Amino acid sequence: MKTTQPEISADLQKFIDKYEPNKFKLLAKGIEIRGINDLHRNITEAKTLIEKMKLNLTVAHNAKMVCYGAFEVNNL
């Protein structure tokens, strides 16, 4: 069975290049950034960067992700 790798959108690639996450996992709808110590500060920085660069992306996080210091950046 052949597995296909999700493609990275142009906006998501711009975000990755500018944000430079140390660890991230590619998802079907975006990326999950992992291993964050100061989660609140990093989420705020990601949202600010997305707004400043006018990217069609959104930040998502929930209580389960807090356990391993992660949040998602998804395509709209």
- What is the domain extent for residue 42? 10-75
Residue 27 maps to a domain: yes
Q: Domains in the chain: how many in total?
A: 1
21 closest CA partner among 5, 6, 37: 37
Cα 26 from Cα 28, distance rounded (Å): 7
Classify residue 1: in a domain, yes or no: no
Give me the pLDDT at residue 6, please. 74
* Residue-wise pLDDT tens digits, 8-54: 899 999 999 999 998 999 999 999 999 898 999 999 999 999 999 99
Q: Residue 66: give its domain's CATH number.
A: 3.90.1070
Q: What are the tens digits of pLDDT across the range 47-74?
A: 999 999 999 999 999 999 999 899 999 9
Residue 1 has pLDDT above 60, yes or no: no
Q: Look at residue 52 and tell me if it is in a domain.
A: yes
30 Cα distance to chain centroid: 6
- Quote the pLDDT of residue 24: 93
- 3, part of any domain: no
Residue 2 resides in a domain? no
